[in-house]
Structure formats: C-alpha cells, structure tokens
Structure 1
C-alpha cells in the first residue's frame, strides 16, 4: 500500500485509495454484461500488482536502480508480461506516479467536501492534509532524500501536477458551482504547484504551511465565491 493510501486508510474503514483505479477498471468491464474472459477480467489485477511492485522497489532502492527485470521478479511475472502491459519503463513509472498522486488527491477531495460550507477552512484542511500524506509517501520521500535522479522529480512536478490541477479544478466547480471554470483552473493550478513545491521542499510544519498558503490565496477565494 502506498504511503498516502496507508494514511487515508487509517482514517477510513473503506478500501484504500490506491485500489480505486483497479476497481474502476473492473467496474467498467463488468458493466458491459455477459461472461468476461479470464485474461480480460484479470488484467486490472495484473496492472495493479505490477505497479505495487514498483512501489515496493522505490521504497527499497529508488527508481533509477530498478530494472524491468526487478519489477517482474517482485510482481511474480515474466519480464515480457511487464512489457506487454506497459510497453516501456517510462510508461510504467508514469503509471506509478499517477497512482500515487491520485491517492493523495483522494484525501484532498474528502477534506474539501467535508468543509464545503467554509471555503477557507476547506483550503486549509486540504492543503495541510496533502502535505501530511505526502510526508509519508515513498515517492516524495525518495525525492526529498535526494536519493533519486531527475526522472521522478520531473514526473511529479509535470505529469503529477497536471493531474492534480485538473482534479482540483473539477472539484472546485463541483463543490462551488458559482465559481467559473477559468477561476477554478487558476486556483487549482496555483494550489497544485504550491502543494508539490512545499511537499518536496518543506520549510515548516504542514499546519503552519497550510495556514500561510490560506492567508495568501484566501482573499482571491473570497472574491470568486462572491461573484
């Protein structure tokens, strides 16, 4: 289980956030009706098993020292099976980063929805939770410890930031429909950049950082909610 998913799971009795992509793929398959061929039904589990192996290896040795053969051995499948599922090492690590960021954002979404009647409070809670979850996230820990080269950093600050920004933007419009898509996108992009920056280069306690960011961005939040 990822660091983020472990922390989320400790606060909830439901299945961990990391398994959500697998559940969605399985739901999509079963919703078509009829008998599902075994290879098709098993593929989401295979996908998740391989990405979980990446998570375990990142914890123990970092990504730069991990080969596709290492991933295959850790997942209990052949090297060719890993290539058949992901195509390349780059695609595999992208899948890993996406799963980790989705686990982090799942916690943020819950925090925002729980405080939807207080936008500043929701921002404070969500930002602080993201930083707390990130501090327990192996992907972030490896980068912060400077034990990894630039590939994971580029993926987290590029692909990870993009996914986080899109998810947060949609969430803002969902929770506060009076906010325009453009304003929601501006807030989401700013928050995603700030969150990832503070996660990778922490300078203070998550709560203190969340309070400072809320003071900075809060006036604009008040403005767009009042329109």
Structure 2
C-alpha cells in the first residue's frame, strides 16, 4: 500500500520496500558514526543488498542522501495530515500538533543531529537550502492534496500557497532547530492559521 492508502503494483511495491530497507540501514549506521565516515558499501552491507543494486536505485552517495532527506519531508507531510484528520474544524490545533510531531522526530533523527552537532557538511546543508527544490516540490504537492481533500476543502491555488509556506518554514528549522525558550509549533500555528480560517469562513458564507 502507498502512503495515500492506494494499492500499488508488485514491482513498485518491491522497489519501495528496497528503498525503505536501504534508508533504514542508513539511519542505523548514522546512529553509530558520522555521515562522512559512511560509504555506499557500508549501507549496502547493512541493508543486505549489493553495491550495484544501491547504485542502480540511488545513483550516488548524494542521491542516497537526497532520498533520505525526501523521507524527512514525507515525515512532515505525514504528521500534518494526521493532525488535520485528528482535529476536525480546529486549524490551530492541527498546525500545532503536526509541527510538534515533525520537530520532535527531526530532533531525534541521526542525520539531522549529525548536521547540527557535527562538523560542517556542505553536501547535506545544500540539500535543505540551495538544493532544496526537490524536497519543497515533493512535500508541497503532498500537503496541498491534504488541504484540498480534507475538511479544510481548500482550492488547488489556496492549498498550494499554504502547503508551500508551511514546507519552507518547517524545513528551515532543520539546520537551526527551535530554541528551548520558544514554542515554535504554537507560534507558527498562530502565524499560519488565519489564512486557513479565512478559507473556512469564506466557504461558510457561501453555504
């Protein structure tokens, strides 16, 4: 099954399982040593696949890192979708809970911790700054769908605006996590909610 619950063909399911296994192996290795000390051969061995299989699927070490970063973007989307479904009619709670979950997971992710606490790694930093286009596009598309096909009922254009803004802001916190003295999820909820509340109010006035 895919992330949206639809049944997927066997070949695609097998590929998704392979990618999940490899990325899980990479995460395990990152809990043991720094990204700079991990090779594709290390990841292949831990995942139980050949180096050629790894090259065929990810292309390079940079491609593997980008796929891992894309999974972080998916984590953001999944947290927000779950929060939307769990807080029907309460925009502020949905934003707050979704972002809380994402920030908590990101803070514990070994690649993020390696980026924040370790030596400067320009290749990783570029993935979420200068080269963040794939992450932004991927997460924005999925989040836009969530805002359209839920109780929010935003139009495609409205959903794209809020999804893109939310993704950009949330990902910007990866290299610079929220400080201990600030409640970033609540603050961002206060900032972003009025846009969605205006969408809901406009729809109610039309009914």
The reply to whether TM is greater than 0.5 is: yes
1:130 corresponds to which of 87, 97, 102: 102
Aligned with residue 75 of structure 2, among 78, 103, 106: 103
TM-score by length of 1: 0.73
The structure that is helix-richer by fraction is: 1
| Range with bigger deviation, 183-192 or 92-101 | 92-101
In the alignment, what sits opposite 1:187? 162
Helix, strand or coil for the counterpart of 1:131? helix
The counterpart of 2:175, out of the listed 194, 200, 203, is 200
**1:29 alignment counterpart:** 9
Alpha-carbon distance in 2 for matches of 1:109, 1:131: 15
Gaps of 5+ in 2: 203-207
Q: TM-score, normalised by structure 2?
A: 0.79
1:56 is the counterpart of 2:31: no
Choose 208-217 or 42-51, whichever is displaced more: 42-51
Instruction: Check the 8 A contact 2:86/2:94 in 1, yes or no.
Output: yes
- Which of residues 62, 73, 77 is equivalent to 2:49? 77
Deviation of 1:59 (Å): 2.7
Alpha-carbon distance in 2 for matches of 1:47, 1:132: 24
Select 2:60's aligned residue among 82, 88, 92. 88
My pick for the range that moved more, 76-85 or 164-173, is 76-85
Give the alignment of 1:113-192 within 5 angstroms: 113-147=85-119, 149-157=121-129, 158=132, 159-176=134-151, 178-192=153-167
Q: Which runs of 5+ in 1 are unaligned?
A: 1-18, 31-35
The count of corresponding residues between Structure 1 and Structure 2 is 198
In structure 2, relative to structure 1, the CA distance for the partners of 1:88 and 1:204 (3 Å cut) is closer
